[in-house]
Amino acid sequence: MKGSKRLFGEVEGRPVYEYTLENSQGMQVSAMDYGATITAIKTPDKDGKLENITLGFDSVEPYAMYRPYYGATIGRVAGRIAKGQFELEDKTVQLTVNEGANHHHGGSPAFDSHFWEVEMETELKSDESSLTFTYLSPDNENGYPGNLEVKVKYSLTEANEWKIQYTAKTDKTTLFNPTNHVYFNLTGNHVNGILDHQMQLNSDFYAPLESDSIPTGDLLDVADSPFDFRQAAPLKTGIESTHPQTVSNRGYDHPFILNEDTKGRANGQISDPMSKRRVRFYTDRQAVVVYQNNWAEGLYEIDGETVQPYSGVALETQMLPDAIHHTNFGNTILKPGEKFYSETIYAFDLI
């Protein structure tokens, strides 16, 4: 295992560093201390060509300017909270609203727009190396109660796995539902898009959305709908569908409920018929939100080419969005004395 560090630019006069982990097979995972953000994951294709299979920039400045959430740690709460308001311990909490009338991805600025402390651990003969990012989110940040200490650990293994481990504790009852917003494009070039990627999910139900992308509270059977990925199907399924949910969202931006009993199998996977790359994911979270960069507006470039819709696909493992308003959506409340822990693993190979 090897590790390295380089200057990646600066934000508000403060230097930003990118850290890279590399295993003996040449796979690399890179992340920066601004936003605890994944900047690149490099894996070989069927011909052994090593390429970045995520959307990312070659310096920090576009991340700070455009805030596209590429590879970002999202929090305190991933997704949207209706009106940014909820009841907690008989008190009304009002968060900042930053997407229409709703609170989105922790507010602005949120986890993705702050500096994190970093500790890198690499040992030449170890089967795993890691980057541990730490951030203290102060009481009332974007309206959230409590001083929240968060650690996000990224590990790279010799089995070509990228592990994410979240831990957190708070001194007041609050909400916590983090995710990572990495976008995969297994072709190694965002210009190719991801609509021909094949996706398979061990999921029997999905959560439909209102017009403002807040979940309705229903959980619907995927059968006979473009949300049925129990058998592998191309991601363009949703783009070509006339289903009202996919039409209004230009494709998928939906939570899929993950089946609980997978008997050690992956919760889901995507693969690319062109490069033969595959990513499988394993998580202890209840759901995965699948988003295809549907609303990319061509405001910026990667490697000299304008980023277009459907250039990448995010597999955001998390508890269901807006869970605080839906009793059937699981628990996102974290109390003093409790220790939050969650793990998601992305495993990379070839088909």
Catalytic residues: 181, 316
Q: What is the CA radius of gyration of the chain?
A: 19
Question: Among residues 227, 160, 270, 211, which one has the least CA distance to residue 219?
Answer: 227
For residues 237 and 252, what is the distance between their CA atoms, to the nearest angstrom?
9
Residues 293/295/301/304 CA torsion (nearest 10 deg): 80
Cα dihedral sign, 239-302-200-234: positive
- Residue indicated by tokens 């990312």: 56
For residues 351 and 347, what is the distance between their CA atoms, to the nearest angstrom?
12
Tell me if residue 349 falls in helix, strand or coil: strand
Q: Which residues contact 337 (CB under 8 A, 6 or more apart)?
A: none
Residue 160, Cβ density class (10 Å: 0-12 exposed, 13-18 middle, ≥19 buried): middle
In this structure, what token pair is assigned to residue 233?
């199907």
Amino acid identity, position 26: G
Task: Specify whether the backbone of 325 is left (phi greater than 0), alpha (psi in -120 to 50) or beta.
Answer: alpha
The end-to-end CA distance of the chain, in Å, is 25
Give the bridge partners for 119, in sequence order: 132
For residues 262 and 265, what is the distance between their CA atoms, to the nearest angstrom?
5
